[in-house]
Amino acid sequence: MGESNGKLLQAALRYADLGYAVFPCVPGGKAPGTGHGFLDATTDRGQITAWWTARPDANIGMPTAGLLVVDVDGADNPWPGEIAGELPGCPVSLTPRGGRHYIFRQPAGKAWSSTASRIAPKVDTRANGGYIVLPPSVVGGKPYRWTENLETCPADLPEPPAWLAAQVDGGADLFVQGGNRPADDGKVAAQGAPVAPPGATSVVGGNLIPTGQRNATLARLGGAMRRVGMSQTEILAALAKANQDRCSPPLKDREVERIATSIARYEPDQVAVAVTENHWGQDNPLADGTAESTIETPDPGPLPAELLRIPGYVSEVMDYCLETAPYPNSAMAFAGAVALQATLAGRKVRDPGDNRTNVYILGLAHSSAGKDRPRKINAEILHTIGLSRQLGGRFASGEGLQDALFTEPTMLFQTDEIDGMLQSINKARDARYESIMETLLTMYSSANSIFPMRRKAGRDAPGAIDQPCLVVFGTAIPNHYYEALSERMLTNGFFARMIVLECGSRSTGREPRLLPLPGRVLDTARWWADFRVGTGNLENWHPVPQIVSHTDGAKRVLVETRLEAEAEYAKAEAADDSVGTTVWGRVSEHARKLALVYAVSENHQRPEIGQAAASWASRLVLYQAKRMLFMAQSHVADNPFHAECLKFLQKLRAAPDRELPHSVLLKRSKIDAKSFSGLVTTLEQRGDIVVQMQATSGRTGRLYRLAGSSSDPTRE
């Protein structure tokens, strides 16, 4: 256990000794790492030790029941402004993004729930039903830190000052215009209401509602109207007027309509809890900045079929595969042919930026859908031209992979059911599996350099691999592949290095055809086998690959692709989206590698990267990046509870109109009613689903509808 990971366990035990119940969160994130989230929190040292022994890099979560945590977002946020000296000496945690957590004990008789931007812009509270992440947890590569070490047990924490308690009790409606001091001891000011602290924004009596408070304030106004029985039409009319008169700038009309629709779905006796607990705001991105954001990627769908063709050798190999396969599969045939072309050109060509043809390509298809035919064709071609030594199968270990590339620096590994290897890497503690991942990552980045091998016993020098070209052609069953991925694989670069092609439904079968390998396919393969670059007798050991130049049009397209990827990377970086930054960070490189493969496939003797090659490569990698990000966020789980949430959402996503009645969804979920209820509560509070009441056959039933960031009625 490393020093930093040991600190997390020691810190968790220290909090428990002080009387704070804790639970693990996912490494590098804030999501709960146990099946029941903060409900699993405990002070039991044995359980805590077991959790952090199993996941030593897990972050530390703490429920805030009985506490009041004021969550100030942003290093430049002025709250509490001039009255900072009047805050009692409460513990303060500094968050990775420059914010602050002020921790108080709830006064006797209070039962506060969490709020969002109620007491000031970008100032939330966490109380009953919430939790926070504690130091020294790390998010986005940056740690939480105490301003002073926490030494106070929960019972000895200070209570919030009276002016703050009044704001939490009454919210923004208690603010009066012109106030400049908090009312002493919660007493009512001369105008008849407590006065806001300096810097607070008034929202009553016609005062403006600024950016950062528009959604939350209109939702509270709508909730007040719903509590007295007003209809959706009446609420919408009132909110539309308030929006135009008081919001600065006004929200779009459709956003106001969504707020009214969301509020009206609650019964009058339910809406108070929904508004108070900010069901649509907790842990979801708001344009007003009231919660930390994650980028929601819409589903672009599978790769368009026209992108699964490039001229020349790749298409010739594809055509032979499709003619002879018992279940022809265009995506799989394309993946196999690209892998073969990349191998044949390995260590022999490069583009002006020194990008090589080494690619990791993965075809996802269900069983008996044509996955083995492209592998057999590649093996037959390489054997026929005398290059069978360049073929590999399963990865036994990282050391074995290095030894294979030391003997033959260009290798094509064709691995079926690659998800099994990923599962082994993800679950096993054997260093052998870890070395496979490490070698795959480093070999990919070493294609234009020297890879130093490990030192072996009895050898004076460890040796090195000069410009290794490792091409991987993997296949897997779609759901098995995504279930095998871990959060670490999503962010360490492995996922981003893969070009993932989904093969869709199995085609209609036909009788197999025994056809010889086309002479043109073999002639081109032999040409590559005999092609030598550089001069002198060292060319096999230290080749100087031929530079394949760009046309001006191709160069322009590739620059535009790089700029678009950089813009998406910046968005992901601003949102602390580590998966997004990892994927977008590889897009430009993928485009240049694939444009090079296109060029040598089109004309192996006189290749040139033209505009058509660059445009095709750009379209493919941009489309694929979006699809990979969507699949990652909708299929890859951080823990078993998260996996159940994703399955729940997938069932809604696949349903007509993306909605299902309670009885149907409960039956399809195949879990008990209590667990189902927990899923619904979590997903509704996160804003992923909308729960509506529906009258059917004289009864009132529940209907669950997929929401998401783009359709949440209360988000900007």
Q: Among candidates 499, 494, 483, 474, which has minimal Cα distance to 624?
A: 499
Q: Given a cut of 70, is residue 695 above it in pLDDT?
A: no
> What element of type H or E holds 542?
none
Tell whether domain 642-706 is in CATH 3.40.710.10: no
Q: Among candidates 85, 92, 24, 17, which has minimal Cα distance to 53?
A: 24
SS (H, E, C) 424-444: HHHHCCCHHHHHHHHHHHHHH
C-beta separation of 687 from 712 below 8 A: yes
What percentage of the chain exceeds 70 in pLDDT? 79
C-beta separation of 105 from 226 below 8 A: no
Could you read off the pLDDT of 162-201 as tens digits, one per residue? 888 888 876 433 332 223 333 333 333 323 333 333 333 3
d(CA 275, CA 253): 21
643: number of Cβ within 10 Å: 15
412: number of Cβ within 10 Å: 24
Tell whether domain 311-453+464-505+552-635 is in CATH 3.40.50.150: no
Angle between helices 431-444 and 398-407 in degrees, nearest 10: 40
Structure tokens at 186: 């919660």
Could you read off the pLDDT of 73-114 as tens digits, one per residue? 888 888 887 655 567 789 999 999 889 999 999 998 888 888
- What integer best gives the mean pLDDT of the chain? 80
d(CA 417, CA 478): 10
C-beta separation of 281 from 714 below 8 A: yes
Q: How many helices (H) and strands (E) does the chain have?
A: 24, 25
Least confident of 157-171, 200-214, 610-624, 629-643: 200-214
Q: Given a cut of 80, is residue 261 above it in pLDDT?
A: no
Could you read off the pLDDT of 33-44 as tens digits, one per residue? 887 778 889 999
What does the DSSP 8-state code read for residue 580? H
> What number is the average pLDDT over the span 434-458?
79
> What element of type H or E holds 702?
strand 699-706
Tokens 């679950």 — which residue? 427
Does 249 sit behind a cis peptide bond, omega within 30 degrees of 0 on the bond before it?
yes
C-beta separation of 101 from 68 below 8 A: no
What does the DSSP 8-state code read for residue 42? B
Structure tokens at 653: 């996503």
d(CA 532, CA 525): 13
Ramachandran assignment for 264, one of left (phi > 0), alpha (psi -120 to 50 degrees), beta (any other): alpha
C-beta separation of 146 from 11 below 8 A: no
**Which residues is 660 bridged to in the sheet?**
704
528: number of Cβ within 10 Å: 20
Structure tokens at 631: 């699949």
Helix, strand, coil percentages in the chain from 3-state DSSP, rounded to 5? 45, 15, 40
d(CA 714, CA 407): 61
Q: Classify 708 as helix, strand or coil.
A: coil
Q: Give 479-529 as a DSSP string.
A: HHHHHH--HHHHHSSHHHHEEEEE--SPPPP------PPPHHHHHHHHHHH
Sort 640 into a burial class: Cβ within 10 Å, 0-12 / 13-18 / 19+.
Answer: exposed
Higher pLDDT residue, 70 or 241? 70
pTM above 0.75, yes or no: no
| Non-local CB neighbours of 491 within 8 Å, separated by 6+ positions | 28, 578, 579, 582
Least confident of 201-215, 217-231, 380-394, 457-471: 201-215
What does the DSSP 8-state code read for residue 183? P
pLDDT for position 416? 84
C-beta separation of 93 from 100 below 8 A: yes
Domain residue limits, the chain? 3-203, 311-453+464-505+552-635, 642-706
Using 50, 70 and 90 to split pLDDT, how confident is the model at 285? very low
Could you read off the pLDDT of 479-527 as tens digits, one per residue? 778 777 776 777 777 888 989 998 877 888 888 788 999 999 999 999 9
Using 50, 70 and 90 to split pLDDT, how confident is the model at 374? very high
Using 50, 70 and 90 to split pLDDT, how confident is the model at 45? very high
**Which residues is 22 bridged to in the sheet?**
42
Q: Given a cut of 50, is residue 445 above it in pLDDT?
A: yes
pLDDT for position 210? 67
What is the dihedral angle through the alpha carbons of 147, 150, 151, 156, rounded to the nearest 10 degrees?
100
d(CA 209, CA 201): 8
d(CA 417, CA 541): 33
Residue 479, amino acid: N
Could you read off the pLDDT of 286-302 as tens digits, one per residue? 334 433 334 566 778 88
**CA end-to-end span of the chain, whole Å?**
44
Using 50, 70 and 90 to split pLDDT, how confident is the model at 116? confident
Q: Classify 343 as helix, strand or coil.
A: helix
| Non-local CB neighbours of 478 within 8 Å, separated by 6+ positions | 364, 365, 366, 502
d(CA 54, CA 56): 6
pLDDT for position 511? 83
Using 50, 70 and 90 to split pLDDT, how confident is the model at 269? low
Least confident of 4-13, 47-56, 145-154, 479-488: 479-488
Q: Classify 538 as helix, strand or coil.
A: coil
d(CA 352, CA 339): 22
CA angle 349, 355, 357 (to 5 degrees): 55
Does 80 sit behind a cis peptide bond, omega within 30 degrees of 0 on the bond before it?
yes
Q: Among candidates 14, 26, 40, 48, which has minimal Cα distance to 151?
A: 14
